[in-house]
Amino acid sequence: MDVISTDIVIIGAGGAGLRAAIEVAEQAPGLEVALLSKVYPMRSHTVAAEGGAAGVIKSGDSFDLHFDDTISGSDWLADQDAVDAFVRAAPEELIRLEHWGCPWSREADGSVAVRAFGGMKTKRTWYAADKSGFHLLHTLFQTSLKYPRIRRFDEYYSTDLLVEDGRCTGVVAIELRSGRLVAFQAKAVILATGGAGRVYPFTTNGAIKTGDGMAMAYRAGVPLKDMEFVQYHPTGLPGTGILITEGSRGEGGLLRNRDGYRYLQDYGLGPPDPWPRNKAMELGPRDRLSQAFWHEQKKGRTVPTPFGDAVLLDLRHLGEQKIDERLPMVRELAKTYIGVDPVHEPIPVRPVVHYTMGGIDTDINAATPLPGLFAAGECACVSINGANRLGSNSLAETLVFGARAARSAIAAVAQSPAIDSRAVLAQAEAAEARVRALFLSQGEESAPVLRRALGEVMEQDVGIYREAESLARACDILVSLRERYTRVRLDDRSNVFNTDLVQVLELGAMLDVAQAMAESAQQRTESRGSHQRLDYPARDDAAFLVHSLATYAGPGGTRPAIGQKPVTITRSPPGERVYGGGGS
């Protein structure tokens, strides 16, 4: 097997991975970076973020206000030292992106424009119309082309981290066009592989978001943190799950039920002012809005559509000119995919799985407990998002923690002991043998059947509201699906661009990640942020103001061990989350 020796391997080339690669190239130009991605970088799912990126820039705003909004949004589960570092670094990262050419929307005087966003006390979300993630990703990718020290390995699917003497020493990946496996030996490894929304069938996430990096770290012994916290975005298109940005509410869009009534006023989010009030009504946090939908549906006040019940997102009063200027893609998406022109009709929307707050356990410096391994972006859990992420914090997070991971990795390279190349090769060959075994086995389990069963159980039993009985059922079903997966069938035996093989490996990752989600949800017998238990409706700070840590049971084990880790509280004692008239 070929071994490529380099200084830093970065896995994933979306927002966090590209930002990390550029930081290494700028801060340590002598180091060589291998940037691996299972897709061409421009295809990464950062591309689909629409609304914008939060960073304090305008007068009247402050780091303290951004901190307070984020902590309250997180239901006090975020680590306060990390949130402090995040809010302070976000504006400089966004300015840097502006210097690299990002086409941020502008005010009349040429300064960067900001818009209102859910759970934010003031306008602080930088945006590029409604394609903020697309522009952020392409700006980073194009800027990365400046640096020949960033060596890209596009369309390499990473399968296993290499660990030697308690230190991460690289990764094994499949070159998709040839099918050959390659070992990358490195002094530091950064995971930036994104989230795992695809474990649910109805999601805004692209097909590539299968939790591969989370699963790799988990199998290498790194805990997954706070996996029970899965964000439902309140406004996705029925059927496809296509995201309709929160920016549409930031610009003044209203949510109505079947009677035209702005139902959010019934869920502690009122008063229903006719103008947008920050942190109230349609500008409440995502967890509260998605939960309100669930109750409206129970009350029979939603609108039936061929693809499930919906509520109505009304943009008509914004007028055609403003919609075309600020939300052009929302208009195009609604027209194309459901035949609704928001200038003339409200858009039917429903909650849709959007973001994994949980992820690979990292500290404020993006370091995992495994020396030499770092993680950033959605795959990581620092945690700045806690039990509920505020919209527009995640794009800024990819930049802030992508850069931090790079700086930590640079420091780790300097301290790295010599790597035993023979041990790297031996481990890589063992990983290769596991992939080859799939080609030789005659498995009887169909991957699409297992994937559908996975989606079904997650949607039914690990959704917006959970309870003991359904979670226990989900955990049992996941044990059995993982057992059946050991007999999964690979139908495609070709070496060239074997997407069947990729999907089978992705399914293995999704099953592991889903199990961490369900088992963590089962042990958290309280309701906090996006994790709502019908049987434990109150927040319980005495028992659960802690992070959950799911630790892989090993190849022979059936369920992860669920442990806990303290939350860092520096200056904001747990309080009540107040939205609506009281919170703005």
* Contact positions with other proteins (CB under 8 A) in 234-263: 239-240, 242-243
Sketch the per residue contact string, 518 through 547, with other proteins: x for CB under 8 A, - otherwise: ------------------------------
Q: Which of 47, 25, 44 is nearest to 34 (CA)?
A: 25
Q: Which is nearer to other proteins, 39 or 85 (CB)?
A: 39
Binding mask 316-335 for other proteins (x = CB under 8 A): -----------------x--
- If one asks whether residue 304 binds other proteins (CB under 8 A), the answer comes out as no
Q: Is 494 helix (H, G, I), strand (E, B) or coil?
A: coil
Give the shortest CB-299-to-other proteins separation in angstroms. 28
The first and second tokens of residue 408, run together, are 């930590």
Q: Who contacts 341 (Cβ-Cβ below 8 Å, separation ≥6)?
A: 331, 334, 335
Does residue 233 have an active-site annotation? yes
**Other Cβ atoms within 10 Å of 148 Cβ, number:** 8
430-459 residues near other proteins, rule: CB under 8 A: 447-448
SS3 label, residue 236: strand
Chain center to CA of 149: 28
99 noted as active-site residue: no
* Cβ neighbour number for residue 503 with a 10 Å cutoff: 18
Q: Give every CB contact of residue 219 below 8 A, 6+ residues apart in sequence.
A: 160, 161, 512, 552
The string of DSSP letters for 32-95 reads -EEEEESS-GGGSGGGG--S-EE---STT--HHHHHHHHHHHTTT-S-HHHHHHHHHHHHHHHH
Closer Cβ to other proteins, 40 or 300, answer by number: 40
Q: Are strands 150-154 and 33-37 parallel, antiparallel or unpaired?
A: parallel
Which residue, 196 or 208, is less far from other proteins as judged by CB? 208
Of residues 37, 143, 427, 548, which one binds other proteins by CB under 8 A? Answer: 143
Least spacing, CB of residue 496 vs other proteins, in Å:
5
- Binding segment (CB under 8 A) for other proteins, from list 205-213, 282-290, 546-554, 567-575: 205-213
Catalytic residue among 249, 262, 286, 466: 249
44 lines the binding site for other proteins (CB under 8 A): yes
Of positions 336, 415, 460, 486, contacts other proteins by CB under 8 A: 336
68-97 positions binding other proteins, by CB under 8 A: 92, 95-96
Residue 208 binds other proteins, judged by CB under 8 A: yes
Q: Taking CB under 8 A as the rule, does residue 145 contact other proteins?
A: yes
Out of 233, 404, 533, 559, pick the active-site residue.
233
395 binds other proteins (CB under 8 A): no
Q: Identify which range of 23-31, 34-42, 69-77, 340-348 contacts other proteins by CB under 8 A.
A: 34-42
> The dihedral of CA 281, 286, 287, 293: what is its sign?
positive
Cβ closest to other proteins, residue 91 vs residue 359: 91
Asked if residue 415 binds other proteins (CB under 8 A), the reply is no
Rg (CA), the chain: 23
Nearer to other proteins, 103 or 304 (CB): 103
Confirm if 50 and 116 have CB atoms less than 8 A apart: no
- Using CA atoms, how far apart are residues 176 and 492, in angstroms rounded to an integer? 13
User: Strand 125-126 relative to strand 114-115: parallel, antiparallel, unpaired?
Assistant: antiparallel
Name residue 348's beta-bridge partners: 312
Question: How many residues at the interface with other proteins, by CB under 8 A?
Answer: 57
State which residue, 189 or 353, has the beta carbon closest to other proteins: 353
CA distances from 316 to 53, 277, 319, 342, 437 (A): 25, 18, 6, 6, 57
Binding residues (CB under 8 A) for other proteins: these are 39-40, 42-45, 47-48, 92, 95-96, 98-101, 103-112, 131, 134-135, 138, 142-143, 145-146, 154, 177, 206-208, 239-240, 242-243, 333, 336-337, 447-448, 491-492, 494-500, 503
Catalytic residue numbers, as ranges? 233, 249
